[in-house]
Copies of this chain bind each other. A is one copy, B any other.
Amino acid sequence: MDVKTADAALLQTRYRLTRQRSGVLHALGDGAHLTAEAILERVRSEQPQVSLGTVYRTLEILRGLGLVQAFTPAGGASLYEAALDKHHHILCTRCREVRNVTIPGLATIASEAAGRLSFDDVDYALTITGRCPSCSTEERASA
C-alpha cells in the first residue's frame, strides 16, 4: 500500500485526515524502520510545529488500522514501519540495523504450536539477532 492509498484508507474511517497524520504516513513511505523520534524529525522538515505526542497518537491509530507495524528491539525504543507484507526482523546486535526477512512456513509452525495449547486468534513475531556481514568483517579486522 502506498501513501496515497493509505491516506485514502484513513478517510474511510471515523478518523480525520489531518496534515500531521498524512505527514507520518509519508515519513514511513520509503519502508524505513524508524523510532517515533526519527519520524518526528522527518515530519518536522515539512511541518516544524508537530509534536512528539501527536506522532505517538497517530502511530497508535495507524497500528490499529493495520497501516503500520511496530517492533520493539530488546533494550531500545520501538521501531515503526509501513505495514506491507507479513515479515519478520533480523537485528544486528552491534550496529543495531534492522532488516526484513520473510520466512515461508513459519505461519504453519506457529499456528500448530498455538493449536496444541488451544489458543485462538493467533499472531506471532520472530526476531532474529546476530552480527551483520559488515560488522562481522570489522570485528575480525580489529581483533
Determine whether the beta carbon of B92 is less than 8 Å from that of A119: yes
Determine whether the beta carbon of B117 is less than 8 Å from that of A101: yes
A interface residues with partner B (beta carbon < 8 Å): 70, 72, 74, 88, 90, 92-93, 99, 101, 103, 105-106, 109-110, 113-114, 116-133, 136
- Residues of chain B with a CB closer than 8 A to A109's CB: 103, 105-106, 109
Query: Closest residue to A132 on the B side, CB-wise?
Result: B119
Copies in the complex: 2
Determine whether the beta carbon of B128 is less than 8 Å from that of A124: yes
A126-B129 contact in complex given A99-B117, A113-B90, A119-B92, C-beta closer than 8 Å = no
Determine whether the beta carbon of A130 is less than 8 Å from that of B119: yes
A122-B128 contact in complex given A72-B72, A109-B103, C-beta closer than 8 Å = yes
In the assembled complex, the Cα of A110 lies from the Cα of B129 at a distance in Å of: 10
A120 in complex: contacting residue of B72, B101, B121, B131, CB < 8 Å: B131
